[in-house]
Every structure is written in C-alpha cells, then in structure tokens.
C-alpha cells in the first residue's frame, strides 16, 4: 500500500485521539448544536442535507452556539494512550459558514483517570503546543507539532466559536518498558503499548491499523479487509512493527463479523531489524522466518494458536499473510519482551 503523499508524513502515525483507541471527550464550554463526542469518531464526518434537530441543523462534529459574550469555546479530551504528539488535523469538513476562524491546542500530562474538575484547576500546568492559528473552512487543517514531551490530555480552543468535525492527534505511544518484567505476558501487537501496522499490499475496504485496536471489532468495517483478488495463488499481507522486541507464545486471529468474506487461511512470519531498516522492509535483504505455518480459518470466529507456533525466536516485526484475500478483525500476539 503506497502512502498518501498528499498528506503530511505524520499522518502515517497512530491517531492518539481515536475513540476506538480509548480516547474520551471529557468536557467543553458549549456544544449546543453538535455533541463534543463527535470530535474523536472515525472518518471525517458526514453531511445529511435535510436532517435537523430541535436545536437546528444536525452536524457530524462539535459545534457551539454563536457566542455573544467575550471569550472563546474549548473542549478537553483524554488521549487513548500517553504519547508524544507529532502533528494534528483540525478538520472542519462540512463546516463552511460556521467554522472557527482560528484554533489553538494546549496539552498536559496528568493521571489518565483525571477528572475534568482536576484538569480545570488553576494550578494545572497546560502547555501550548499549537499557538493560535488560522483554519480554513471545509478542510483538513494540518499542523506539525514540535514538542518532545509526553502528554495525556489536550484542550482544543476555538476562536471565538463554531464547528469542528474531527480532531486527529498523530504521535508515538509512550510505554515505560522498565515496568514490564521479562517473564510477563504482554500483547506485542497492541496499539495501546506502541505496536503499529506500517505497510500492507491492500486495504481497499478498511484500514490495517484496526487489527491492533483494543476490544473486538464493532462491525465489519472495524478490521482489515482487502478487495477480492482474482489472481491464482494470491496472498494479501500486512507488516506490523511490534510494540517491543519479543518472542511470541500465543496467537489470536479474530475474524469477528467477517462471514462471506473471511480468508480461507493465514500464516505469520517474523524478522529482526532496526528502525532504520524499515525503509527496506520489502526487499530481499530482509530475512523472514515463518513461526505460524498456514492455518485454516473460519467465519466470524476467534482462532487460538499455541502449539502450532514453530519458533520462540525474538522478533521486531511480523508479516501476516491471508489466503487469498478477505478480512481479519483483530490480531493478538501474546509473548515476552527481550
């Protein structure tokens, strides 16, 4: 899958503010027209011309009323996981005559269970990571963030009021691996601790990142699904950077919701490379070792593999094959760090 070069490179990173990752919108100054919770939903938002509520036009985003007093509107959210923020997308999709002209973002590191009351205390040390910046209507407004601090919560400020469809916060997950014991079992393919899908040959129907999200898929769109392939002997693939170098003891391949379009079979192989080698991940210079031979799959089913695993070697990256095509909802790789 060729990266979209029309967008900044930071959009290839994980969206730390994704609802499916566990992000939550805690509070806002006003969401009279459209609920604050829409900010962290998937996609860019939709528009239904003739849909209205008793408060006015229905909008798929966060929209405050027209401000008639001094000040500005704001919204506080908790990231799905602590991390370093590399860039943001303040998306005003479908907000044309009602978008905010400007926005800024502040961030803080706090207890992940901090309440909105605690975060709004005068002593809370918010740090501005995006100064007041102009927004275009109906657009993805991308901003690079140059800050190496770890944050847990954000405050989006809009000036003075208006609507934002989505807020995407791209960055790197922070995990303190010193707290993880060598014999402790962790899911090395969990996005919550830093695993990342970095490349695949196809994701026509749904994104490869879904494989690593917490929980089970909520529907067929919440997984990794490729188009129908008519090439004899085809196999589709995705490469995942593990959260940490480790050996894998148990595997879960979940085809939840995939019924008429689940893969016939799958296999998995791994390699040991540096981050610098990722640029050559598909070249013949990379040595891959199969540790899960080809296994038959069923529709809408959790497949557990343990005795089928043929290697206890440590890996940094894995490549999941599915034969010949189809959809997988989640992949779990339980093991120990090395």
pLDDT at residue 118 greater than cutoff 90: no
Q: What is the mean pLDDT of residues 234-247?
A: 98
Q: What is the mean pLDDT of residues 306-327?
A: 98
Q: 91 is written with which tokens? A: 């998306």
Strand-pairing partners, residue 8, are: none
Between strands 330-337 and 302-305, the pairing is unpaired
Q: What is the mean pLDDT of residues 277-286?
A: 92
Whole-number pLDDT of residue 125: 86
Q: Cα(127)–Cα(43) distance, rounded to whole angstroms?
A: 28
Mean residue pLDDT across the chain: 95
Q: What is the DSSP letter of 82?
A: E
CATH superfamily of the 180-337 domain: Galactose-binding domain-like (2.60.120.260)
Whole-number pLDDT of residue 121: 75
pLDDT at residue 5 greater than cutoff 90: no
Q: What is the mean pLDDT of residues 50-63?
A: 95
Whole-number pLDDT of residue 122: 78
Q: What is the mean pLDDT of residues 246-255?
A: 98
Whole-number pLDDT of residue 161: 98
Confidence of residue 273 (pLDDT cuts 50, 70, 90): very high
Q: Which residues contact 299 (CB under 8 A, 6 or more apart)?
A: 255, 258, 259, 260, 262
Specify the range with the lowest mean pLDDT, choosing from 60-69, 121-130, 311-320, 329-338.
121-130
Q: Cα(262)–Cα(177) distance, rounded to whole angstroms?
A: 35
Q: What is the mean pLDDT of residues 297-311?
A: 98
- Domain at 9-173: CATH architecture: Sandwich (2.60)
Domain boundaries, the chain: 9-173, 180-337
pLDDT at residue 1 greater than cutoff 70: no
Whole-number pLDDT of residue 4: 62
Whole-number pLDDT of residue 116: 76
- Same fold? 9-173, 180-337: yes
The model's pLDDT over 123-181, given as tens digits with 9 standing for 90+, comes to 788 999 999 999 999 999 999 999 999 999 999 999 999 999 999 999 999 999 999 99
Whole-number pLDDT of residue 111: 82
pLDDT at residue 30 greater than cutoff 70: yes
Q: What is the mean pLDDT of residues 223-230?
A: 97
Q: By C-alpha distance, which of 233, 206, 236 is closest to 222?
A: 206
Q: Cα(25)–Cα(19) distance, rounded to whole angstroms?
A: 9
Confidence of residue 3 (pLDDT cuts 50, 70, 90): low
Specify the range with the lowest mean pLDDT, choosing from 67-81, 112-126, 193-207.
112-126
Q: 131 is written with which tokens? A: 């100064």
Q: Cα(174)–Cα(86) distance, rounded to whole angstroms?
A: 13
Q: Cα(189)–Cα(199) distance, rounded to whole angstroms?
A: 14
């Amino acid at each position: 899958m060729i990266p979209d070069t029309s967008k900044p490179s930071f959009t290839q990173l994980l969206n730390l503010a994704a609802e499916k990752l566990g992000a939550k919108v805690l509070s806002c100054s006003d969401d009279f027209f459209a609920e604050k919770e829409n900010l962290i939903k998937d996609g860019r938002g939709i528009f239904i011309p003739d849909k209205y509520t008793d408060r006015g036009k229905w909008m798929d985003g966060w929209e405050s009323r027209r401000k008639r007093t001094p000040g500005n509107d704001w919204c506080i959210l908790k990231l799905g996981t602590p991390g370093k923020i590399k860039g943001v997308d303040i998306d005003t999709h479908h907000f044309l005559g009602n978008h905010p002209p400007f926005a800024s973002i502040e961030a803080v590191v706090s207890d992940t269970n901090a309440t909105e009351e605690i975060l709004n205390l005068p002593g809370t040390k918010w740090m501005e990571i995006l100064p007041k910046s102009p927004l275009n209507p109906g657009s993805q407004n991308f901003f690079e963030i140059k800050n190496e601090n770890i944050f847990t919560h954000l405050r989006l400020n809009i000036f003075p009021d208006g609507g934002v469809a989505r807020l995407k916060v791209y960055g790197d997950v922070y995990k303190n691996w010193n707290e993880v014991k060598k014999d402790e079992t962790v899911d090395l393919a969990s996005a919550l601790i830093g695993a990342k899908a970095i490349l695949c040959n196809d994701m026509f129907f749904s994104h490869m990142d879904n494989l690593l999200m917490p929980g089970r898929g909520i529907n067929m769109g919440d997984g990794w699904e490729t188009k129908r392939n008519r090439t004899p002997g085809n196999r589709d693939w995705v490469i995942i950077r593990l959260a940490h170098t480790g050996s894998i003891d148990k595997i879960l391949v979940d085809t939840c919701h995939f019924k008429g379009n689940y893969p016939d079979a799958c296999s998995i192989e791994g390699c040991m490379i540096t981050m610098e080698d990722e640029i050559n991940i598909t070249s013949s210079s990379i040595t891959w070792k199969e540790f899960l031979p080809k296994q038959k799959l069923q529709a809408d089913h959790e497949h557990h593999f343990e005795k089928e695993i043929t290697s206890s070697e440590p890996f940094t990256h894995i490549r999941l094959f599915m034969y010949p095509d189809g959809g997988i909802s989640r992949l779990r790789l339980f093991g120990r760090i090395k």
